[in-house]
Every structure is written in C-alpha cells, then in structure tokens.
C-alpha cells in the first residue's frame, strides 16, 4: 500500500511538473523572453 501511494504521488508530481513547465513556457514566450527558454526545463524542480 505504501509503495502504491508513493507511485501515485510520484506520477501526480510528474504530471504537475509537466503542466507547470508548459505553463511557464507559454508565459515566457508570450513575454518574448526566449532567452529564458534556453534554460534546462528542470531548473525549478
């Protein structure tokens, strides 16, 4: 049960991180700051 909950937690965190990256990239591209997009996508994790 602990391993299942841990797996679900990790999968949920991965989905949230992917959504956050997509959201951040959209904001950055809307502001025209493409130089920030060259950073690694995992710089905030």
Sequence-ordered list of residues with C-beta below 8 angstroms from that of 20, at least 6 positions apart, any chain: 44
Mean pLDDT of 22-44: 64
Average pLDDT, the chain: 72
Q: How confident is the model at residue 45 (pLDDT cuts 50, 70, 90)?
A: very low
* Confidence at 7, pLDDT banded by 50, 70, 90: confident
Alpha helices (runs of H) in 1-45, residue ranges in sequence order? 2-31, 34-37
Tokens matching residue 8: 């679900």
Q: What is the pLDDT of residue 4?
A: 72
pTM confidence score? 0.39
Looking up tokens 């809307």 gives 30
pLDDT in the model for residue 22: 81
């Amino acid at each position: 049960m602990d391993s299942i909950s841990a797996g679900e937690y990790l999968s949920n965190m991965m989905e949230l991180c992917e959504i956050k990256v997509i959201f951040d990239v959209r904001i950055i591209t809307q502001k025209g700051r493409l130089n920030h997009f060259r950073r690694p996508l995992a710089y905030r994790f």
